[in-house]
């Protein structure tokens, strides 16, 4: 994905968050400061989720360099992708990563990123 494509995708996510915010917003002469504050929090969280999901997807779509075993330094075999739910400071997202196995050490590893 090019930086322009990434920007377009994030702008799309931002637009969806703004549309959702505008749909929920009460008329300007009726809305309270508390409601405005809640909308600001919710739209911030929507953007946070969008950035997390989009950047995780992009980082998973690039080819990984061949992985060497951190213990013995030999080339490891790719054993297919494993999916798991990752909890980060900015929320939860599914992450799918290649899983590697070292026949020498008989241990499995995920790449460091």
The reply on whether position 18 binds Zn ion by CB under 5 A is: no
Stretch that binds Zn ion, among 3-11, 29-37, 65-73, 77-85 (CB under 5 A): 65-73
Nearer to Zn ion, 83 or 106 (CB): 106
38, 71, 77, 88: residue in contact with Zn ion (rule CB under 5 A): 71
The reply on whether position 52 binds Zn ion by CB under 5 A is: no
| Distance, CA of 65 to CA of 29 (rounded, Å) | 57
The reply on whether position 68 binds Zn ion by CB under 5 A is: no
Listed residue (100, 111, 105) closest to 76, CA to CA:
100
The helix/strand/coil state of 97 is: strand
| Distance, CA of 89 to CA of 52 (rounded, Å) | 10
The reply on whether position 77 binds Zn ion by CB under 5 A is: no
């Amino acid at each position: 994905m090019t930086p322009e494509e990434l920007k377009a995708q994030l702008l799309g996510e931002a637009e969806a968050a703004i549309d959702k915010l505008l749909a929920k917003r009460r008329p300007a002469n009726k809305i309270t400061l508390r409601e405005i504050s809640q909308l600001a929090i919710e739209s911030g969280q929507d953007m946070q989720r969008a950035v997390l999901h989009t950047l995780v997807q992009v980082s998973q779509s690039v080819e990984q360099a061949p992985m060497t075993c951190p213990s013995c330094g030999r080339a490891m075999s790719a054993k297919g992708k494993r999916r798991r739910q990752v909890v980060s400071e900015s929320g939860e997202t599914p992450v799918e990563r290649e899983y590697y196995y070292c026949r020498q050490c008989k241990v499995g590893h995920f790449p460091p990123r």
